[in-house]
Structure 1
Amino acid sequence: MKKIKLILIITFYLSGLISINAQELAPTDTIANVVNLKGFQVALRGGFDIPTFDNNTPYIDYKGGLMAGASIDYYFKWYGLGVDFDYIQNKPSSSYRTGNLYYNGNNVTNFNLTEDKITRNFIGIGPSFQYQPTKKYSVELKLRAGISSIDGGKTSLEGSYVNSSNVPSTEIFNYHNGYSQTNIFSAKGSLQFNYFVTEKLGLSLGGYYLKHFDSEESKNTLLNYTTSYKPITPVLGTNNEYTNQTSNTQLRENPCNCDVSSIGIFVGLVYKFTSDPNKPKKEKTKKEKEKEIYSLTVTARDKFTKDILPETEIVLKNNDGEILKTGKTNNFGVVVFEEIEPDSYVIEGSLYGINLENEDAKKREFKKGKTLQKELSYTDKNFILKGKTVRCNTTSSLADVSVILRSLDATIQKNSITNENGEYTFNLNEKTSFTIYGKKDSYFSQTETINTENFDRMTTLFVKLEICMEQVDCGKAIKLNDIQYDTDKYAVKKEGKVELNRLVQFLNDNPEIKVELSSHTDSRGQNTYNQTLSQNRANSVVDYIVSQGIKRSRLTANGYGESQLLNECADGVDCTEEQHQVNRRTEMKVICPDNK
């Protein structure tokens, strides 16, 4: 115990000495000017271990043995944190006297001794301290707490003799069942001196003290005891020579929870994973530089339908609200911000004037050489109308068209101008009906009706619609669709008024033009009857348009009967109903300025 106390006193004295010197040096960075202490350090060691087993077992001592271990430490400066791994092997040693041994008056002549080795494994974690005044030398103090396992150490001494009946017999004179225990709380302190042969590689020499608390002995369950022995009494014989007389066997049934400790010395190697801060940095390769690039990928997606959202405006801001980068998602709903600093950001998005839910990017989420993935959600419950204006009967788009969207109750009206691709967008409220048409000089627009009750927002975000625009040249006839009349009647039916409203809108948008409204019949029936009927129908169309606020002076009504057939279905020609239908029509024609 005196040796142990001395080692502990020296260890804690050196610990205080190292701490004081390190603290004195740290403010002036004296150590840092000599050598870089920060970083990982790995040490391998091997040595000799001298154990003490406080199990109070007579006649059994313990020999020293080999040890091997490793340490991994990370030093923040002169202080750090480390882990120790140790493997220790010892062996028991029987001190039982075997010379001139007598049992019950019988001379024991032959002995059989078995001594199993003891292995100990230790893993511990704790603080580390180092003092390195030069690049060549350093001293380290390491304090560890952890768990151990002890296994083995069984000792058995058997002796043979011939009794008074001349019968050979065998008896156990000394026995200890050894150890078989895991998860033993243990503590270790070590002092290590290092000599560096290079900047990073060094040789080490040191010593340690290791203690295992409450190490329980193993019990022989068959014999029901841990230790047995026969006490020896030296007896002086008639010839003045001592003989060793044994008495009855002594047993210890209950295992002893006794401490086990050891001291040891070791040599080894140490390697520092640190670099000289004053050494010029090596130029990085292209691949190394690419690994240090930080990237951020943002995907825009609808919350309900999960559709990706192209053309979404994305803004990257810092925590102070300053805009750092902007971008627009591609056809896959993705925008990538390259070569950005790892920091905390706020990501905002907007699609056709509607904001998406913001998302945060934390500094800790950025990894070198990897792209951080973020997703913004579009949560607005309105629909998005994505339309296009085209020239009628073609696929040619029409740019710079003023598109008017108006609710049927006239409480909502929105305007938009088509882009170079003829595209326009509107946000459509739920459960609302709209009319939509285009306005452009010299073009007559189709009018469409949209009812959003026909769509489910959970499955649909985008409503697509194409508006047909027909170019109007003076003197060119344009057919008005769906102008229906009852047979032999000329009053405009309700369905036809929808189409005539399209013409009313065109006339309101172009107040300077005048138009001719013409009505045509097929060849069936008398010519004079068809002429009169068509004139009355043309007059009826004009009357309706005037009732909608258009001056009559801008309108001319002409009935052409069957005089301007569009196909060969004249009198006497056998034609189908569909062929005759082509000739029954109402047309609009802009009157050229030179004409009256």
Structure 2
Amino acid sequence: MKKLIFTWIMMLVATLSWAQKLSDTLSGERTGKLQIAAFGGLSMPMGAYKGDVGRAKNGYHAGIAIDKYFKGNNWGIGVDARFLNHDIRKFDSVFFSNGYIATDYVNHPSFQHIGVSIGPSYKAALGKLDLEAFLRGGVLFQGFPEYTQSVFINQAVGPALNLFDNYYTNNPNRITKAWMGLGGFRLSYHIDKNWGVFVQGDYLRTFGKNFGGDSSEFHVSGYQQKKAITSADVFTIKGDKITNLSDFYEEVPVSQRTFVQAVNVAAGIRFTFGSKKRQAPVKAAPVKKAVAPVVSAKDILVVVKDKQTGLALSGVTVTISRNGGDEVSVSNSNGEAERIKSAQRGSYQIKAVKNGIAAIPVAISDIDFDKSGALIYKEIYHDDPRFTLIGETISANNNAKLPGISTVLTNTGTDKNMSQISDGEAKFVYQLDQQSDYNVVANQAGKFSQTEGVSTKGLDRSKTLYVTLKLGINNLDAGAIFVLKNIHYDFDKSAIRPDAARTLDNLLNIMIQNPTLRIELSSHTDSRGKDQYNMTLSQNRAQAAVNYLVSKGVERSRMEAQGYGETRLLNNCGNGVECSEEDHQKNRRTEIKVLKY
């Protein structure tokens, strides 16, 4: 591919050389100008290339343009060579009861193209400004991403099994070519007789389905989903096949394809060979006046703050840009981006993004360099109306940090789930909507955690930014006993309430993830009421919990229901002893005991 690009460029250069000689011969003098421009900037995909087929995001492009103008400096011929990069929107992982859906990216998840083109140019001079229009045709050397989205089923031992590819790229060739067209405008400003700066905008797209026998378009195929997959769904497995796959996906995949198209905006610098003839009256040499020294360089320090509380904000991606060059860093615990030392005088643009939300940009200009001091200090305010949950996965026994634990956050109002694995510091971070309740649990084979509740109801976002949680993790060892939090029953009833069902759903996931696990599920009462009545009520409640899990697909042989009534009190609040409601509550509990694992 490199040899082909080099050959194409050499042909374009030879064409320009021939045009230069022809212009000189016809005019008798070298009146047409030859210019070289280097540029770079933003590239914005369009149509299906940007949509669900290509999934291309805004990216960048950079290149060079060479234009040779003929006699009169209006019409000419030019070449354009550029590189374009568009990252793709990655797919979110989806978790269900006995597995998950994840995407494997074979190569770098982006489109990477090299375009080479030639065509006519037209220029109109407006004082120190030049307005140029250009139209090009050529070849786009395309590099496509490759990925496969698959359904994985968890095993009791070993890694999850990939049993079904539901969405995937199927390009005949990952590296291919296409005919391309390019058209746009360039507005240039003359700094002196040779150098100038410019901004330009253009539109690029490919044409045709094939080039030299190769497909020129990007291809994807996938099975359309019949319904959304939730955390409660179960894929039934027989051997290495999913028997209820048709409940979730259509039987025949749908193939789609798209050509490449993008709108590009850029800035750059231009050099024109020779001198530009301009008639100007002869003026007397000006008298030089003493001027104050100009500061050419200063350090730049950017601090990110939460707009609503004014607190310093860490983990924010800060980009400081000048002339297409970017300095990118992540704010530390003091909200500080990496300091830029000895920044050259000029205009800078500061942007900040966290959790997909961008702050209002801040600018630096020459005025900031004229102010006293060796440091330019700027604050940028990030405005996310959500609260930030900072959680930590720890051992329930000794509070030691446990990194690499899979967690699931559920909005109890919408049943929407999100998942995250705690990092090397055992931390996990979620964004929480205002006035909402959430449950957080661990979701990992061989592990057990309580269903912990988190609420933002009653919190004032202008005063509070962070919500913290420590999630205790237990090992599923034989003989271990755990109290299930938040299992409540109506007075004198054994029916499973909706709030209790959420906690039992966590236990359901644990039973599914650990198919060799056998448990005793027991219920306990306080000492109030008759002993036999309490024994019967607790047995009914334990049996109701087991029946609920059986209705969700857990084999009854893996569970034993046991009611203990008031025979296993955790304190001295026995018959006839006066105790507070809080002390009685400690005895009203539901427990699980690991019988075998």
Tell me the TM-score normalized by structure 1.
Answer: 0.45
Larger Rg: 1
TM-score between the two structures when normalised by the length of structure 2 = 0.45
